[in-house]
Amino acid sequence: MEKRKIIMLTTGGTIACVESENGLTPGMGADRLTQYLHLNPDLVTLHTLEVMAKDSTNLVPMDWIRLAQIVAMAVQKGYEGIVISHGTDTMSYTTAALSYMLENIPVPVIFTGAQLPIDAPDSDAPQNLQDAIEACLVAGPGVYLMFAGTLMDGSSVKKVHTTDKEAFESINCEAVGYMCDSLLELTDFGRKLFAERQCYASTPMEYKPKEYEVNQEVALIKLFPGMNPDIFNYYLQRGVSGVVVEAYGTGGVPSEDTTYMDYFRRFESLGVPVYITTQCLKGGTHMEVYEVNRLAKGAGVIEGGKNTTENLLVKLLLSQKQ
């Protein structure tokens, strides 16, 4: 196994939290986090950079853009793996965003975090951080999440538990690999994914990602029984640039009240995309099955398929600069 030059970017989150008078808040720097690592110097040269110190609840899309720019610069400087420590609460949004923005990146970018601060008793932080760095020795190009010994594709992850150490799952997508005795063992899916991405990856010195800007006016609407569909009119009047609707089951939208379909057609006439996803955790949408699916699709909505809500939202929140 060849030695790799890796950089760890810190952004805050529970992994770096300390007690304050108002509760836990990010307060540990990169030097403090690396004290808990036990790396083989023959395999890893580790550098660090403190990007920000935020609770991930406070992250905004401009933070994603800044982080993507720093990652790109790290690639251009010759780093062969990038680890990003991040808060767990919105990490699935950030991994989805960077998966989108860092298309064709030639090195692995591996996010990780923790459910407990790194210096807490029985913390999962040291192992998660160690696993993420060691996974960079094997992982192929792309954006990933390492958590509880599992490597997952960054565009498919979701936090599914508020306190359990196995807090994330890969939604509608197989795991990429698993840690075993400090080595990343790839699944068949992982091997295929790495091979495909290697074909499209840029060379490090030539890597230059596309530039993005933020669309502030985007809506996420979750349907519920008895909901007044006129909520869509509010977003029409605001002039939103896109909507994600968390519908029922396979993508069902109430059809007896035709107001929903009327609003969908109005959005379509204005060129505003409306994505339909499901409130179910797994399975995705299948909008050819029921009448309540087909009528919505006929009114101009876009089927979300197996995409997570986070994945759909970031594609609306971010647009390429012209």
- pLDDT tens sequence across 120-148: 999 999 999 999 999 999 999 999 999 99
Strands 183-186 and 212-214: unpaired
Tokens, residue 317: 């929140």
Of residues 318, 322, 320, 274, the one with CA closest to residue 94: 318
Phi, then psi, of 110 in degrees rounded to 5: -120, 115
- % of the chain with per-residue pLDDT over 90: 93
Looking at the fold, whether 118 and 194 belong to one and the same domain comes out as yes
pTM listed for this prediction: 0.96
Looking at the fold, whether 115 and 65 belong to one and the same domain comes out as yes
Tally the domains of the chain. 2
Last residue of a domain, one of 192, 210, 228: 210
Is 14 a catalytic site residue?
yes
Looking at the fold, whether 197 and 230 belong to one and the same domain comes out as no
Looking at the fold, whether 284 and 269 belong to one and the same domain comes out as yes
Query: Would you call 66 helix, strand, or coil by DSSP?
Result: helix
Q: Residue 80 is part of which domain span?
A: 4-210
Q: What is the pLDDT of residue 65?
A: 96
In terms of phi and psi (left: phi > 0; alpha: psi -120 to 50; beta: otherwise), the region of 208 is: beta
Distance of CA 90 to the CA centre of its chain: 8
- pLDDT tens sequence across 249-287: 999 999 999 999 999 999 999 999 999 999 999 999 999
Q: Report how far residue 264's alpha carbon sits from residue 261's, in angstroms, rounded to the nearest whole number.
A: 5
Q: What is the pLDDT of residue 223?
A: 98
Looking at the fold, whether 299 and 150 belong to one and the same domain comes out as no
Q: Report how far residue 63's alpha carbon sits from residue 69's, in angstroms, rounded to the nearest whole number.
A: 10
CATH assignment of the domain containing 303 = 3.40.50.40
CB atoms near residue 310 (< 10 Å): 25
- pLDDT tens sequence across 178-222: 999 999 999 999 999 999 998 887 788 788 888 999 998 999 999
